[in-house]
Amino acid sequence: MQARVHRSTNVLRRVGLLIVAVCVAFDALSADAPTVALDQKVAAALAMPTDRAAGRRRFQRSCADCHGPDGRGDAARRVPVLAGQRYKYLVRQLASIALGQRHGGAMHNVLSTSALRDPQTWVNVAAYLDAAPPPKHPRTGNGEFLALGDATFRVQCASCHYGDARGSDAGFVPSLRNQHYAYLRGQLDRLASYHPDVDENLSRLMTSLKYDEREGVADYLSRLHGLMEVPPEAGRSE
């Protein structure tokens, strides 16, 4: 009798451990599910043909109140320049906000509308912005920490964003050129705040930078404008 009870207890224990293991695995899969769904949506969208004229109409109808009719942002309100930004990065960001993977405040409210949840709209708008000319004179900082910002960017950031801050389609790395200083400065602080939408490793990097380093990086980047003509760094390719 005791042996039977012992065997039953062992069976129940093994079943219990199996249930726990299945639950843990399910939780892990559930945690990754939104990212997988986002990746799938983005991949499907990137395979679609684009219509820049339709993207321009949609952008001016839905986004121009904040970003301006030409996508050149608003330095006073820390609204970013979108004109000239990388196509694939824009598609992923539009998808992230539309699908609730990134919280963009007012932008999230705009992208929650049915018209902007359509992947065809994402690629149309992104194609329009990618080809739109960026501002010739983004608002810059005061130049106090400019040399430090140059050096800091090249040591800490250029390996991903390239030496000319062009970014890369591989990995959806954004261009940091042609951008207003105030927006860049605010984003560096946001990245250092361990916001849920921010990559943890990037947050740690930004937290490690001192005030004057962040100030200098934002000012340095705000002065990089024009077409991205500098060749990739040695040993790297698009």
Domain limits of the chain? 35-134, 136-232
Domains 35-134 and 136-232 fall in the same CATH topology: yes
Fold of domain 35-134: Cytochrome Bc1 Complex; Chain D, domain 2 (1.10.760)
- 79 — phi, psi (to 5°)? -95, 125
Does 182 have pLDDT greater than 80? yes
Q: Is the pTM of this model over 0.75?
A: yes
Number of H helices, E strands in the chain: 11, 0
Q: What is the mean pLDDT of residues 138-167?
A: 95
CATH number 1.10.10.10 given to 136-232? no
Average pLDDT over residues 161-186: 94
Residue 20: pLDDT band (50, 70, 90) is very low
79 SS3 class: strand
Residue 117 — very low, low, confident or very high, per pLDDT cuts 50/70/90?
Answer: confident
